[in-house]
Structure 1
Amino acid sequence: VEGSELVSHRPKSAPRLPLSGRGLTVKAVREDHTIRVGDTGGDPDFVKGSLDAHSELVVPLRVRGEAVGVINLESTRGYAFTHDDQRLAETLALHVSGTLERIRLAEEKQLTQERMLREEAAAEQARMLATVKTRFLSTATHEIRTPLTSIMGYTELIQGALEAEDTSKLQVYFDAVQRNAERLTRLTDDLLDTQRIEEGRMKMSKTPTTTRELLVDLAREATPRLIHRRQTLEVSDGFGGVVDADRDRLIQVLANLVGNASKFSPEGSAIQLLVEERGGEVLFSVRDEGVGIPPEDLPKLFKPFPGIHVEGNREGTGLGLNICKGIVELHGGRIWAESGGLGKGSTFSFTIPEAQP
């Protein structure tokens, strides 16, 4: 029985009989009892099938008190089925029904187990998300409080200096306030970008852009930091073609990678930026001669607040790399990092699709 039809499982035919129609088989299902007919020619419910049957025996299969199918026996001889044949067929039907019941129970058990596994996985994911959210908020609050505390401290110093009419250190105090205000602005922007990426609200305004234009813009943005640390940026554009990209966002990614390379490399060192074509994709790689990354820290990269400590540097939020990952993936690319370990430098690479003609 499938829905409102009785479907035959004979090897070479599969007629579908409406349960509301004629036929001894559907009648046995509707009335839920055995039907034995010795002369089909005299029975108004008989419907001739592929066999020229003169007698028919139909026994319903019951599962949980409901007819779910039938065993149908036909013969070209009249009155071929005896009362003993009927009892044998009904005994066979009991065994088949029992087997169908066990199959149904096994399927229901499996479905129940699968549902429980899905619910457990969803609950575990919810617990993990709650833990990550709590840690994220705690760390973000700490990161915001640090520059705010500094700003408030220097504001009090400025107020004290003004009351004492001592202006000799005001410029130093104001510079410190400005630095912390800029740090707070960057952190706020990063948190907003992270939220947009997680919620799928960051939009890319893609236009055809040459890699040369990207590198010119990058040099303009990165030069002040590099000059301050007496570092050089060696650029090799082996592609020189066009990418379909959000120019500002791609510059944000490159500037972040070059900025990190500068931050974690010694003064006077060289940073390399390589651009090349790789099978329909454009590969950007930023290599440095810096502190390197331990193998156990590589999987933590590109996650917010990864908790990676680098000796001699303040622990960062990790939001920059997390945003880079989101921007690259919104371009249809991927991003990764490689390092030989501590003291052996690092290479951060990402790909984006080449612009289609």
Structure 2
Amino acid sequence: MTSYSISPQPGPSQETARTSHVALTPSPTDADTDDANRQAMGLAFEHAPFGVVVIGSKTRHIKIANRFARELYHLCTSLPAASLTGKQVDDLLPWMESDEILTQLSQVAETGVPVLSRFMDLPSDPGEHVGTHWGYDMVRLKTAAGHAYDLLVTFRDYTPVLQERKRAQAATFAALQRTELLESIFEQIAEAVVVRDRDGKLIVYNREALTLAHNQTVVERGRAHGERVDPDWDVVDADGKSLAKLDLPIWRAMFSGKSMLTDQLRVRKENGTLTPLLIHATPLRDEVGDIIGAVAAFQDISVVKEEERLKDEMTTVASHELRQPITVIQGHAQRLKRQLRQLTEQEHVLINPASLRKLADGMESQTARLNRLVSDLLDLSRMQSGHLQLNPESMSLTRLLERLVELQREASADHQFFIEDKVPPEHGELVGIWDEGRIEQILTNLLQNAVKYSPAGGEIRVTLDVIPRGTRVGSQARGRKRLTSDSAHVAITDEGIGIPPGAMVHLFERFYRAPNSGDIQGTGLGLYICQQLAAAHRGYLWAESRGLGHGSTFHLAVPL
């Protein structure tokens, strides 16, 4: 057997670097060294972790194949591994021509230009022990005679590399999807969230956090121009004093290593308003427990604080409104007891019936006042809990209004009542499906307010008509709405103290009383309850006034 050494050689005529050969020439060494080299070279060739074959360029048959190549041949064909040597390449793997591999063999044999780092996929599944993605190289060999050329082909299974690459790509894609999902969730969290590293550098914040920053516009303008401008939050204490950086909950959590929770702080927004916050800050730790930063969540608790304020106000109002009638009833009861004691202890004591009637009337009036207050508080509780129920039935709004006006006329002799029916003749008597008790409650409240806030002798005009569908109703201060159906309309106009322009937007809020109401009794619940009752009927309640001292008009519209 001829001994070969492998070394690059210049191509014919020494003309170009692109033509390369590998010369297999006998090594002129002494016998021992020569044998040792041949043995080492043979072992390396035979046990290489990739396939190596030598193909005759003229006959295109496989002259030499190492163990890797032989075993691969056996796995692919189930033929004996040793039978690979001597096989004709064209007959052995005819499908390779579809990948131009046979053509490449011819080109390398003719030109000497190697084919390096090419890849191919096997045309069908070769079995679980054979990869499907291979890389190969083709190099022309030159014998010592310098005439006969053989081709050296090496090939390696890149399937594990490709599979690992695909797994890495799939993992990267999955991680990207998770990141995008987390970013989407982070952006849509209702609470503001801010994260800082251990040096205090702002790492990330969400959209809600930006709305609380006092430099929101500057940050958004910077974003629009591709610039990074960090938002800043002006957190203040109960007295409105800005907190120092180290006093902020996120910094305190970072330095103390403990979570912080407080609802006593507020943030000053860009428009100058102060928003009460529930702030929860907690340190961030790495896998060994070292603090690497902190996260803070800000929750706007304006609604909670407003509810607390309203509860306190309700308690104050209820206490005050309950105390007054109770005091009156108690005083009348004590006077009545004194007169009864005189009647039983002394002879010939004359009891003035008018005095007794006055005491009884006073007690009855204050009892009615207590009853109204309790009813208002119960209605308020039902509305807040969503348990307000209506009992709609067919009723005549015309008759109800006439009856209520007549009752008020009898009870308020100092005022002049006028009722005007402007309902078109084709409608006749206004009849609809409403809760008569609740409609009566609304109209009674409006009529009593007209009396209460009007001077003695003042005129109170009540108008009944129909507003067609599509008409816009409501006050400018609270926004006008378009009616979706024909509606019965009641307007009650007085000549009273009027409504200040600034009070119109708050008029139907719980416990609100206009600043010009003075010492006139009231809880601030009546109009709120009336509006809720109107809304429960899919109707509207609104007010108009030309200003202080020019009276007001309250409107009720409920769908027919």
TM-score category (smaller protein) = 0.5 to 0.7
Q: What is the Cα deviation at residue 148 of structure 1?
A: 0.7
Equivalent residue for 2:501, pick from 290, 295, 298:
295
Give the 3-state SS of the residue equivalent to 1:158 in structure 2.
helix
Aligned to 1:110: 187
State the 1:143 CA deviation.
0.7
Distance 2:384 2:529 in 1: 10
* Residues 87 and 56 of structure 1, relative CA distance in 2, 3 Å threshold: closer
Could you say which residue in structure 1 is the equivalent of 2:530? 324
Are residues 1:244 and 2:433 paired? yes
SS in 1 for 2:325: helix
Instruction: From the superposition, tell whether residues 187 and 112 of structure 1 become closer, same or farther in structure 2 (CA, over 3 Å).
Output: closer
Q: Which residue number corresponds to residue 277 of structure 1?
A: 467
Kindly indicate whether residue 342 of structure 2 is the aligned counterpart of residue 174 of structure 1. no
What amino acid does structure 1 have at the position aligned with 2:406?
R
Alignment partner of 2:313 out of 123, 130, 135: 135
3-state DSSP class of the match of 2:409? helix
Counterpart in the other structure of 1:42: 125
Partner of 2:418: 233
Q: Given that residues 126 and 132 in structure 2 are in contact (C-alpha distance below 8 angstroms), is that contact kept between their aligned partners in structure 1?
A: no
- Give the AA of the match of 1:107: S
The structure with more strand, counted as a fraction of residues? 2
Letter in 1 for 2:180: I
Question: Shift of residue 333 of structure 1?
Answer: 0.8
How high is the TM-score relative to the length of structure 2? 0.45
Once structures 1 and 2 are overlaid, which stretch shifts more, 268-277 or 341-350?
Answer: 268-277
How big is each residue's C-alpha offset from its partner over 1:67-89, in whole Å with a ceiling of 9 and x where there is no partner? xxxxxxxxxxxx9x968x95996
* Contact in 2 for aligned 1:234/1:270 (Cα 8 Å): no
After superposing the two structures, state which structure 1 stretch, 309-318 or 241-250, moved more: 309-318
Aligned twin of 1:255: 444
Q: 1:345 is matched by which residue type in structure 2? A: G
How many Å separate the matches in 2 of 1:350 and 1:205? 19
Partner amino acid, structure 1, of 2:358: V
Asked if residue 159 in structure 1 is aligned to residue 337 in structure 2, the reply is: yes
Q: CA deviation at 1:149?
A: 1.5
Contact residue 499 and residue 514 of structure 2 kept, 8 A = no
Unmatched 5+ residue regions in structure 1?
Answer: 1-35, 46-53, 58-78
Change (3 A) 1:43 1:341: farther
2:483 maps to 1:286: no
Give the deviation of 1:183 after TM superposition.
Answer: 1.6
Contact 2:492 2:555 in 1 (8 A): yes
Paired position in structure 1 for 2:379 = 193
SS of the aligned residue for 1:148 comes to helix
Contact 2:507 2:513 in 1 (8 A): no
> Are 1:351 and 2:557 matched, yes or no?
yes
Relative to structure 1, is the Cα distance of residues 247 and 44 closer, same or farther in structure 2, using a 3 angstrom cutoff?
farther
Q: Give the gaps of 5 or more residues in structure 2.
A: 1-118, 135-154, 194-207, 209-277, 279-296, 344-348, 470-485
Partner of 2:512: 306
The residue number in structure 2 matching 1:267 is 456
Alpha carbons of structure 1 residues 153 and 106: separation in structure 2 relative to 1, 3 Å: same
Q: 1:180-219 alignment to 2 at 5 Å?
A: 180-219=366-405
Answer whether contact 1:245 1:331 (CA < 8 A) is retained.
Answer: yes
**Count of matched residue positions in the alignment of Structure 1 and Structure 2:** 289
Work out whether 1:334 is the aligned partner of 2:540.
yes
CA deviation map 1:247-289 (0-9, x unaligned):
2321221222122112222233322222222212222221222
Return the structure number with greater relative CO, CA threshold 8 A, min gap 6: 1
Find out whether 1:144 has 2:322 as its counterpart.
Answer: yes
Identify if the C-alpha distance between structure 1 residues 179 and 120 changes in structure 2 by more than 3 Å, giving closer, same or farther. farther
Cα pair 1:308 1:315 within 8 Å, conserved: no
Report if the CA contact (8 A) 2:394-2:431 is conserved.
Answer: yes
* CA distance, structure 1, for counterparts of residue 300 and residue 126 of structure 2: 59
CA distance in 1, matches of 2:189, 2:517: 52
**1:187–1:201 distance in 2 versus 1, CA, 3 Å:** same
Quick check: 1:40–1:56 contact (8 Å CA) kept in 2?
A: no
Measured in 2, the distance between the counterparts of 1:312 and 1:111 equals: 47
User: Structure 1 residues 157 and 56, CA, compared in 2 at 3 Å: closer, same or farther?
Assistant: farther
- d(CA) in 1 for partners of 2:462 and 2:441? 15
- Compared CA separation, residues 110 and 290, structure 1 to 2 (3 A): same
The TM-score with structure 1 as length reference comes to 0.68
For residue 30 of structure 1, what is the aligned residue in structure 2? none
SS in 2 for 1:188: helix
Residue number in structure 1 paired with 2:235: none
Distance of aligned partners of 1:200 and 1:217 in 2 relative to their CA distance in 1, 3 Å threshold = farther
- Counterpart CA distance in 2 for 1:217 and 1:296 is 35
CA contact under 8 A between 1:217 and 1:251: conserved in structure 2? no
In the TM superposition, what is the alpha-carbon distance from 1:135 to its structure 2 partner?
1.5
Quote the Cα distance in structure 2 between the aligned partners of 1:101 and 1:203: 47
Residues 1:344 and 1:154: Cα distance change in structure 2 (over 3 Å): same
Q: CA deviation at 1:142?
A: 1.5
Deviations 1:6-26 (A, max 9, x none): xxxxxxxxxxxxxxxxxxxxx
